[in-house]
Amino acid sequence: DTGVSQDPRHKITKRGQNVTFRCDPISEHNRLYWYRQTLGQGPEFLTYFQNEAQLEKSRLLSDRFSAERPKGSFSTLEIQRTEQGDSAMYLCASSLAWGAGQPQHFGDGTRLSIL
């Protein structure tokens, strides 16, 4: 059973640089989510895709953030002109439609550190 895969696991970059993260969901899952988790907090919702359509974006997702899911398979999250406050764990999750009774399954995340 292949779970949700995220790459890279760690990213260290200088302030002002652009970064891109990748998420490969569980293959039969049509829903994909991005969350951000900072120290001492629970994950916070960023955005949600159903197949290739991005259906919701959180107010946390500033104009510097963009997410895509071409062809409804893997997804990328790009942060442009990174800032210190972007340092966090970025988590990806996938699920079947909730009506099927399936929960969101999370990857192990990408930890971003901004120098």
Measured distance CA(45)–CA(106) in Å, rounded: 13
Q: Which of 22, 28, 21, 10 is nearest to 105 (CA)?
A: 28
| Beta carbons within 10 angstroms of residue 65's beta carbon | 18
Closest separation in Å from C-beta 106 to other proteins: 4
Q: Which of 12, 62, 108, 115 binds other proteins (CB under 8 A)?
A: 108
- 77 near other proteins, judged by CB under 8 A: no
- State the pairing for strand pair 110-114/105-106: unpaired
- 25 near other proteins, judged by CB under 8 A: no
- 40 near other proteins, judged by CB under 8 A: yes
The secondary element (H helix, E strand) that includes residue 105 is: strand 105-106
**At a CB cut-off of 8 Å and minimum separation 6, what does 43 contact?**
35, 36, 37, 91, 106
- 88 near other proteins, judged by CB under 8 A: no
Q: Which of 48, 61, 67, 69 binds other proteins (CB under 8 A)?
A: 48
Q: Which of 14, 59, 63, 103 binds other proteins (CB under 8 A)?
A: 103
Question: Residue numbers of the site for other proteins (CB under 8 A)?
Answer: 4, 6, 31, 33, 35, 40-45, 48, 50, 55-56, 58, 91, 93, 98, 103-109
